[in-house]
């Protein structure tokens, strides 16, 4: 996991440098012929280049990215355009008047839901919406899954992705949820929400391997260091203060705000120069940074306060847009719940057969019981393979089946002896 965290953090930074000015847009003008097309970038054509999503407020590229880019245009349909030959300008003239909502409204703990989120972002971006709205209300969850969600957003080159941290059961973008919000182009929050406290959560089986306390402290610090760097890179890619993102992970970090001319800086006190005046202390050692919505806006982590989704849409000039909520994550959650019930039923039935096999049974009854047990095992093996989130120990089930089979064979031998 440590390697994965470092790799993702490094890739994020490298991509930001490599594509520092790629700007998504909707009007394409040929630099030589002045031909103008309206549309949106897509990756539906095989072999097209994949660029890194950028906010429309960032500077344009000094060098075009390598390879052709697939574009859906109103005038000519799907085309491949060479960015070196076309000037790209964002103005929404070629986009569909639609906003697609993709919720992150529970703990980030299941692979099946993460798979569904990745698919939702990829497919939604191909539909040419004005933007994708990621609605967040989560207590956080597993780092590995949160990274996949962030990657789905940051590597989406086809449209802007807006985070809407709404009020709800969990009250905001907490822990790994803060990373998801930071990966988006813009962050808007309702007044009763919070963002931060991005503690590191790994798989329990990973923790169980860390038996020596000193070793555990060292490993956890390495994980936390990579996680800090990852959050900082997510923040900085959209011009948010990286040190504040780090303070959401590290209790030892102190953050003060100073003025340098007309510029606001968020720094560690040890880096303060004598001529800089401290205007505010944002975080003191001993606590993880957690920001209210108003604080998040004030320190430039968030971009604005809104009262509702409708108000946000109006603010983003999408008040009359067709709003579609993607159901992939919700459907995946329901699918897993159904699988959980099937697993529980199969385990219960199988457990009864294991208990029954401990007692003397007529051979015909034993044979029927063994057949049913084998059916239960096949059901469990299928569920375990299809749904890794069930964490089903099929090896133990197989061992129990072997014991039933042994009891059956013993009953057969005893019957032969009596006959």
Confidence tier at 374 by pLDDT (50, 70, 90): confident
> What phi and psi values does residue 84 have, to the nearest 5 degrees?
-75, -20
Q: pTM for the complete prediction?
A: 0.79
β 263-267/36-41 pair status: unpaired
Q: Could you read off the pLDDT of 200-225 as tens digits, one per residue? A: 665 444 444 434 444 344 446 667 78
Say if CB 53 and CB 160 are below 8 A apart: yes
Residue 6 vs residue 277, higher pLDDT = 277
Higher pLDDT, 417 or 323: 323
The pLDDT tens digits of the residues spanning 43-100 come to 544 444 444 444 443 333 333 345 677 888 888 888 888 888 888 877 777 789 999 9
Closest by alpha carbon to 325, among 112, 184, 107, 164?
164
Q: Domain-by-domain residue ranges, the chain?
A: 22-89, 98-327, 330-418
- Write down the pLDDT at residue 44: 44
Helix 143-154 vs helix 2-18: angle between axes, to the nearest 10 degrees? 20
Q: Is 346 left (phi over 0), alpha (psi -120 to 50) or beta?
A: alpha
How many Å separate Cα 342 from the centre of its chain? 28
| Mean pLDDT along residues 148-165 | 89
Residue 287: phi and psi, rounded to 5, are -140, 150
Q: Which CATH superfamily is domain 98-327 in?
A: 2-enoyl-CoA Hydratase; Chain A, domain 1 (3.90.226.10)
Q: Categorise residue 239: left if φ over 0, alpha if ψ from -120 to 50, beta otherwise.
A: left
Predicted local distance difference test score (pLDDT) of residue 61 = 34
**Is residue 380's pLDDT more than 80?**
yes
Spatial separation of the C-alpha atoms in residues 344 and 361, rounded to whole Å: 26
Per the document, the length of the chain is: 419
- Edge-first strand order for the sheet with 86-89 is 77-81, 69-73, 36-41, 27-30, 86-89
Look at residue 177 in the predicted model and tell me its pLDDT. 95
Q: Is the pLDDT of residue 361 over 50?
A: yes
In this predicted model, which residue has the larger pLDDT, 130 or 57? 130
Q: Average per-residue pLDDT in the chain?
A: 82
Calpha distance 321→58 (Å, rounded)? 25
Percent of the chain residues past pLDDT 70, beyond the cut: 81
- pLDDT of 106 > 90? The answer is yes
Segment 279-288, tens digit of pLDDT: 999 999 999 9
Task: Please give the residue that has the higher pLDDT: either 298 or 198.
Answer: 298
Indicate if the alpha-carbon torsion angle 156, 157, 159, 163 is positive or negative. Answer: positive
């Amino acid at each position: 996991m440590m390697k994965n965290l470092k790799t993702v953090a490094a890739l994020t930074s490298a991509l930001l440098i490599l594509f520092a000015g790629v700007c998504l847009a909707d009007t394409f003008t040929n630099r030589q012929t002045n031909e103008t097309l309206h549309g949106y970038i897509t990756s539906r054509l095989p072999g097209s280049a994949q660029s890194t999503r950028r906010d429309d407020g960032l500077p344009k590229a000094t060098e075009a990215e390598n390879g052709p880019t697939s574009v859906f245009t109103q005038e000519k349909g799907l085309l491949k355009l060479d960015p070196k030959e076309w000037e790209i300008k964002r103005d929404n003239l070629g986009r569909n008047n639609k906003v697609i909502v993709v919720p992150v409204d529970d703990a980030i703990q299941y692979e099946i839901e993460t798979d569904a989120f990745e698919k939702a972002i990829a497919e939604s971006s191909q539909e040419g919406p004005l933007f994708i709205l990621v609605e967040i209300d989560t207590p956080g969850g597993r780092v590995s899954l949160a990274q996949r969600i962030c990657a789905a957003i940051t590597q989406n080159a086809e449209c802007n992705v807006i985070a809407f941290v709404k009020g709800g059961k969990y009250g905001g973008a907490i822990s790994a949820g803060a990373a998801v919000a930071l990966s988006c182009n813009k962050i808007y929050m309702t007044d009763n929400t919070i963002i931060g406290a991005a503690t590191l959560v790994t798989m329990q089986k990973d923790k169980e391997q860390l038996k020596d306390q000193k070793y555990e402290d060292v490993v956890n610090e390495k994980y936390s260091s990579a996680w800090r760097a990852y959050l900082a890179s997510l923040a900085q890619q959209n011009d948010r203060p990286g040190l504040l993102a780090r303070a959401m992970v590290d209790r030892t970090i102190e953050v003060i705000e100073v003025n340098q001319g007309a510029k606001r800086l968020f720094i560690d006190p040890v880096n303060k120069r004598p001529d800089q005046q401290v205007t505010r202390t944002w975080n003191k050692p001993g606590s993880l940074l957690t920001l209210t919505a108003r604080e998040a806006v004030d320190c430039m982590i968030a971009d604005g306060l809104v009262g509702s989704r409708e108000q946000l849409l109006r603010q983003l000039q999408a008040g009359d847009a067709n709003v579609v909520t993607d159901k992939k994550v919700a459907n995946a959650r329901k699918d897993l719940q159904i699988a959980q019930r099937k697993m529980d039923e199969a385990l219960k039935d199988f457990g009864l057969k294991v208990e029954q096999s401990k007692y003397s049974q007529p051979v015909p009854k034993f044979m029927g019981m063994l057949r049913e047990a084998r059916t239960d095992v096949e059901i469990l093996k299928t569920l375990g393979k299809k749904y890794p989130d069930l964490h089903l120990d099929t090896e133990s089930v197989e061992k129990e089946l072997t014991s039933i089979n042994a009891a059956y064979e013993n009953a057969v031998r005893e019957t032969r002896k009596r006959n």
